[in-house]
A and B are shown apart, each in its own frame.
Chain A
Amino acid sequence: EPEVTQTPSHQVTQMGQEVILRCVPISNHLYFYWYRQILGQKVEFLVSFYNNEISEKSEIFDDQFSVERPDGSNFTLKIRSTKLEDSAMYFCASSAYREKSPLHFGNGTRLTVT
């Protein structure tokens, strides 16, 4: 069982709706990430988060996306107005350090936009 937990495991939403994907990273980790994987394609970096702020984001992570750490345990990814092309598996990951520290991934949330 992974130590990073994600909910829900599957989310179906209509185009234009807002979704929030939730993650609970490993408790003593300091760095948090969101990646996505469109079916059959590569794992793509979305955003990294440290010390309550975004440290880096990719070109995929546009104004429709936002991340938040609302409390000491949860880490959320919000998509404000979903598009069909947002359909993918979204993985949360955490690591203890910035360097020389592997990413620990959650089970993922499969987002289906109809």
Chain B
Amino acid sequence: AQSVSQHNHHVILSEAASLELGCNYSYGGTVNLFWYVQYPGQHLQLLLKYFSGDPLVKGIKGFEAEFIKSKFSFNLRKPSVQWSDTAEYFCAVNNYGQNFVFGPGTRLSVLP
């Protein structure tokens, strides 16, 4: 069965620092990859998605992610974080014909 791991449980950064959150999945084949963000007290919102094509995908709010098939990875990046990026970030994978599997989440705290 598919599993998703996220490298960091809690990341603390200062504003303007660069961000990279790791995500790895266990099972290959055709995968659809997603990053969701959950701001405090709110629902899960889609940041970006990858289905096929260019492995570097751009999402909302300046986020991007790179799909590296050989590493089973889909890391999330942002060159310069803001205080408003403080949230929980979830990587999710959806194999063909299977349901979404979410990673455990990474809590990002951005210090002003």
Contact = CB atoms under 8 A, between A and B. Distances in A.
Interface of A: 2, 33, 35, 41-45, 48, 56, 91, 93, 98-100, 102-108
Q: How large is the interface on B (under 10, 10 to 19, 20 to 34, 35 or more residues)?
A: 20 to 34
B43 A100 contact: no
Interface of B: 32, 34, 36, 42-46, 49, 51, 90, 92, 94, 96-97, 99-105
A42 B45 contact: no
The SS class assigned to the B binding surface is: strand
Contacts of A104: 46
Nearest to B51: A100
A2 B103 contact: no
A45 B101 contact: yes
Given A48-B99, A99-B96, A108 B43 contact: yes
A103 B32 CA distance: 12
B101 A102 contact: no
Contacts of B42: 107
B32 A100 contact: yes
A41 B103 CA distance: 10
List 3 A-B pairs, minimum CB-CB distance, nearest first: A43-B102, A105-B44, A42-B104
Given A33-B99, A98-B97, A103-B100, A43 B105 contact: yes
Contacts of B32: 99-100
10 contacts: A42-B105, A45-B100, A91-B43, A93-B44, A100-B51, A102-B34, A103-B34, A103-B92, A107-B42, A108-B43
